[in-house]
Amino acid sequence: MKKVLSSRNVASHERVDWWRQQAAALFSADYAMQPESSQPFGIHMGLVADHTLPFALFEMQSSAHRASQRGGGAGAGNVVVHLQLDGHCRVRGEGKEAQVGPGDLIFHRTGAANTLHFLQDYRQICLIVPETILAPEVANWSALTNTTLAAKSGHSRLLADHLRSLVSQVDALSPADMLDLAPFTLGLARAALGGLHELENKGSRLGSYQLDRIKQFVLEHLQHSSMNVDFIAQGVNLSARYIHQLFAEEGRSVMGFVMQKRLQRAYEQLRQPGCRLPISQIAYAWGFNDHAHFSRNFRKQFGLSPREMRAGR
């Protein structure tokens, strides 16, 4: 019951238009496609779209590209449950930006103006469900769209494992089997969405959790002199914009936090009894490439120069 759609037998210069037509027919959504120029565009999909099922399910692999989805259209009432298997994707829309990596889930709406930028070759599983079936039990669920959910435990892990299993076994399942499994599939999707809702509603628990992750990553990489916001964003699989927003809510900047922690580590090392390392070497060890820059910021932070601090003044 799986239908295969592939651009392999389509001329390379016709593939973008071919795929736009397929997407319009399957998802009732209009996409503007922009392939990466470094390689020919290609896409391959195994689709389960039986009219007796309350959802469509597909596994897709494709080359890197950007897909900009226009708002509205006949598919405006659908929700996409997107499980990333390989590769990274950046999702922008509805006032948010999210980074989606292997093992991550994200919910987005086919009726909203979203841009999905697949940064390299990728694989994904998508479950497309009418909003009226999936979401009515979760209050204000639309506020949860375009928010990355790491499928590492709980409901999200169960949903991710189920989708992988369902796709791998679909050729062995009859339409009746798929229909029997549909309530379980939809129940897991609702539970994962509800779990994301719970995180959002507990005193910005999700934001606090992500901020703690970012700070821990920074502390573990303080000695990387090339650390900047893009380096941090890639390391924690979040957007630079979101990271800036989290730190702004604390009344500080991301790199201000990095500077503070680097100076603190240098201070602690300078104060260690018996430390005879040159000050320039200590500065370099904690990510400072410019000794004058280090000394200037050290004095601003502690009221003494590094040399004066070492001398115990």
| Residue 254 and residue 157 share a domain | no
Q: How far apart are CA 267 and CA 310, in angstroms?
A: 9
DSSP letter assigned to residue 101: -
Secondary structure percentages of the chain, helix, strand, coil, to 5 = 45, 20, 30
| Residue 39 and residue 170 share a domain | yes
Predicted model pTM: 0.64
| pLDDT band (50, 70, 90) for residue 58 | very high
Q: Enumerate the β-bridge partners of residue 124.
A: 60, 84
Torsion (CA) 125, 76, 26, 68 in degrees, nearest 10: -70
| Residue 143 and residue 9 share a domain | yes
- What would the DSSP string read from start to end of 213-280? HHHHHHHHTTT-TT--HHHHHHHHT--HHHHHHHHHHTTS-HHHHHHHHHHHHHHHHHTSTT----HH
Q: Give the pLDDT confidence score for residue 198 in this predicted structure.
A: 60
CA triple 161-148-249, angle to 5 deg: 150
pLDDT of 205 strictly over 90: no
Q: Give the pLDDT confidence score for residue 140 in this predicted structure.
A: 64
pLDDT digit string, tens, across residues 126-169? 999 888 887 666 666 677 788 888 888 788 899 999 999 999 99
CA triple 280-282-283, angle to 5 deg: 65
| pLDDT band (50, 70, 90) for residue 204 | low
| Residue 272 and residue 258 share a domain | yes
Closest CA to 233 of 245, 248, 250, 249: 245
Q: How many domains does the chain have?
A: 2
Q: Give the pLDDT confidence score for residue 169 in this predicted structure.
A: 93
Domain of 284, in residue numbers? 206-311
Last residue of a domain, one of 179, 201, 223: 201
pLDDT digit string, tens, across residues 269-294? 888 877 788 898 998 989 898 888 99
Q: Give the pLDDT confidence score for residue 135 in this predicted structure.
A: 67
Q: Enumerate the β-bridge partners of residue 109.
A: 79
| Residue 36 and residue 175 share a domain | yes
| Residue 239 and residue 295 share a domain | yes
| Residue 63 and residue 12 share a domain | yes
| Residue 133 and residue 12 share a domain | yes
| Residue 186 and residue 130 share a domain | yes
| Residue 191 and residue 51 share a domain | yes
CATH of the domain at 239: 1.10.10.60
Which residues are CB-contacts of 302 (< 8 A; sequence separation ≥ 6)?
263, 267, 309
Q: Give the pLDDT confidence score for residue 132 in this predicted structure.
A: 84
| pLDDT band (50, 70, 90) for residue 203 | very low
CA triple 117-23-45, angle to 5 deg: 80
Tell me if 90 sits within 8 A of 63, measured CB to CB.
Answer: no
| Residue 226 and residue 180 share a domain | no
| pLDDT band (50, 70, 90) for residue 74 | low
| Residue 91 and residue 212 share a domain | no
Q: Tokens representing 274?
A: 């018996």
Q: Enumerate the β-bridge partners of residue 79.
A: 109, 129
